[in-house]
Amino acid sequence: STTGASAVSSSFAQEGDHFGIRAAGADVWGGGGQRDDQYGAIFQEDAVTAASSVSARVDTVGDSNAWAKSGVMIRNDIDAAGESAGYAVVAVTPRNGVAFHWDADGDGYVESSASANINTFRPVWVKLERLGEKVSAFYSYDGANYAQVGSTVTLTGADKVQDGGMFSTSHDRNLSRINVFSDFSVTK
């Protein structure tokens, strides 16, 4: 089962195995003096263990901003925006490829980043794989052949069991678009 959560004004929809998230959030980024952790998420509580992956196909990304983000997230508590550690996301953006962000210092904000400058004008699968205290991010055009984004990093402050799900942020508090996901999976 899945749960909807939001740190901002959001709405959620589901039709079959397709999910929609509309979330007007400033951003998911805490580096360079920025302190934003605003998103809407559909997730499974306590579904991610020390050997899990969370993946989804991002079917559409509404272009509210070049840095709007839609993808997958893991953290100790997805309901605790701006607080919960063990935090990592990999997301499709409209005009900046795929972004992998993680919270290296455990303060509840993602401030470290790697990216893949790829064509996102088509569906893109994104995946986070956790192995112990490490997390890796990947993208794929077919859901079978994945390329890594950046390198494997430490998932600082991760609990033994975490939440995992899909999220979206518009990167604009006053504007949101519907973002569509499918093929959501959490494996243990």
Q: What is the pTM of this model?
A: 0.94
Q: Tens digits of per-residue pLDDT, 112-166?
A: 999 999 988 899 999 999 999 999 999 999 999 999 999 999 999 999 999 999 9
Token couple for 152? 């494997």
- Rounded Cα distance, 33 and 66, in Å: 20
CA distance 87 to 41: 14
CA dist 179 to 24, 35, 154, Å? 11, 23, 29
Token pair belonging to 1 = 């089962």
Indicate the range of 3-7, 93-97, 136-140 predicted with least confidence.
3-7
- What pLDDT score was predicted for residue 102? 98
> Over pLDDT 90: what percentage of the chain?
80
In whole angstroms, give the CA distance from residue 146 to residue 178.
Answer: 26
Question: Which has the higher per-residue pLDDT, 18 or 3?
Answer: 18
